[in-house]
Amino acid sequence: MWKRVAAGREFHFYLAGINNQNFLMRDRETGSWWQQINGKAIFGPLQGTTLELATGDELSFGLWKRESPGGQVLVEVPKYSKEYDSGWEPKVAKLPVVLNPGTLGARDVVIGLELGGAARAYPVDALVKQSPVQDHVAGQSLLVAVGPDGKSVRAFLSQTAGGPPTDLEFFRKTGTDDWLLVDSATGSEWNFEGCAVSGSSQGKCLQRVTALRDYWFDWKNYHPATSIYRR
């Protein structure tokens, strides 16, 4: 998800094409073509310009509604209903893809993230079986967790804020219906939003790391040097 402002201007985009099953957008103001996955203009007057990333989540509706009970839902405009292509996904899924050599299936779903110039892909199947995952990317401690719905994934820097950073190790709390993590340093309890809800760390929140749910072929093509998390 990208902000529509770049180079001091606001833009309006529309779907202009598909590049290896990744959207190509075109802005009405300059006619530049933009790549969906990295927000970069790849052709036109603004070639090389990159849109600013907007913080967002890909959550199940139930979990989102629980966290944001007053949130609003974007729905289709009735008079344009016939213009929405509901069969696009099944049709595109049958098309061949360009894939650099790798050890995952082309359509395996991964959670991809970039940190300190390094890219890493986490197969969703592995995350579901192991969550929470403790990892290190570009020398930074990372926490990747599957939420209480068993589907949604978030990533955080697993370090204390303020003063010299201290790495934290997290474990799922058992014996309760609530989804909580417990850190080994203070015994504080943390929710899926990355905030401590009890203990000496109560009120503190971990720094979020932007994570993208994507097909492996797409993530690999645009992050050729990516590593893959292994259990």
- pLDDT of 106-140, one tens digit each? 889 999 999 999 999 999 999 999 999 999 999 99
- Domain coverage including residue 158: 109-212
35-81 confidence digits (pLDDT tens): 988 889 999 999 999 999 888 888 999 999 999 999 999 888 888 87
From the CA atom positions of the chain, what is the Rg in Å? 20
The pTM for the full model equals: 0.85
56 located within any domain? no
98 inside domain: no
202 lies in the same domain as 119: yes
Say if 229 falls within a structural domain: no
Q: Give the count of beta carbons closer than 10 Å to the beta carbon of residue 218.
A: 22
Q: To which residue do tokens 């290190």 refer?
A: 136
Within a 13 Å sphere around the CA of 182, how many CA atoms are in the beta-carbon half? 11
**What is the pLDDT at residue 152?**
95
* Total domain count, the chain: 2
Both tokens of residue 82? 């016939």
Q: Same domain for 37 and 117?
A: no
Does residue 225 lie within any of the structural domains? no
Residue 172 belongs to a domain with what CATH number?
2.102.10
pLDDT of residue 170: 95
Asked if the structure places residue 128 within a domain, the reply is yes
Q: Does residue 130 fall inside a structural domain?
A: yes
Asked, for residue 71, whether it belongs to a domain, the answer is no
Identify whether 25 is part of a domain: yes
The arrangement of strands across the sheet holding 109-115 comes to 211-215, 109-115, 118-123, 227-228
